[in-house]
Amino acid sequence: MGTAFMALRLRQSLFGLVMVALLPSTAWADKTDDIVSRNMSRMNAAAASQKKIDKLSEETDKIVSQYHVQRKVVDGLKVYNDRLRRTLTAQEVAMQKLQRSIEDASLIERQIVPLMMRMIVGLDEFVSLDMPFKQKERRARLERIRGYLTNANISAAERFRQVLEAYSTENAYGTSVDVYTDTLTVPEGELTLNVLQVGRAGLYYQTLDGAVSGYWDKKEGAWKSLDSSHNAGITHAIRIAQGKESKGLMELPIAAPEAL
């Protein structure tokens, strides 16, 4: 029975093979096309997926590149902001110092105006007690400076400069030699005279014709006449001071210094 069963199974298998062999060729073709079609669909899908992946990769690279660029910009802005912050801090400190300087300047100005007034009063008294040379010029300078001190359009610094300049000018008279013409009341009357100023050591006058000469007596505070023997010496000194003769020895009567 077993042999018979095996024989039956063999016959059935052979019959199946024969039946398969007898299938039409069109069925095989359809099945092959279907397989190829499915493979092509999978390949197309894979290609489309690869394109999407490549596109995403490019976009990712672009985003990463932009990120690095923006990061550099941000780093630069951080450095700039830090510098700007330090600059603003320094400016705030400078403004505070400037404000204190303005306040100090206002205080100094309030203190310096009375000081300048006292300086001018002192200079006025000095001119009054000094030898009477260039009186009009010196008095006019003092009056001009007094006007400056009450002029709000002139800065305190400029007013103070004018006061110091007046002191400097008065100090320079002590070492200057000068000749000028003035009308004075002397022992001979009111005359137009040549006045010779030799520092603060001597002050002399002489008529324009050189006939009469005199000097300022410091001790008595008055003009005094000189003997005619001094005319030539004073004339020579006047011509030297005027630049009409070469510099040389001036022979002038000088009062002996007073004992301290």
Contact criterion met (CB below 8 Å) for 182 and 196: no
> Under DSSP, is residue 143 helix (H, G, I), strand (E, B) or coil?
helix
Check residue 23 and report its DSSP letter. S
> How far is the C-alpha of 50 from the C-alpha of 227, rounded, in Å?
131
Higher-confidence position of 193 and 103? 193
> How far is the C-alpha of 79 from the C-alpha of 70, rounded, in Å?
14
pLDDT range class, residue 110, cuts 50, 70, 90: confident
Higher-confidence position of 159 and 111? 159
State the pLDDT at residue 85: 84
Cross-strand partners of 206 = 194, 213
Residue 1 has pLDDT above 60, yes or no: no
Average pLDDT for the chain: 82
* Phi/psi of residue 23, nearest 5 degrees: -65, 150
pTM of the model: 0.58
Higher-confidence position of 212 and 96? 212
Tokens 């006047």: give the residue: 238
> How far is the C-alpha of 207 from the C-alpha of 105, rounded, in Å?
53
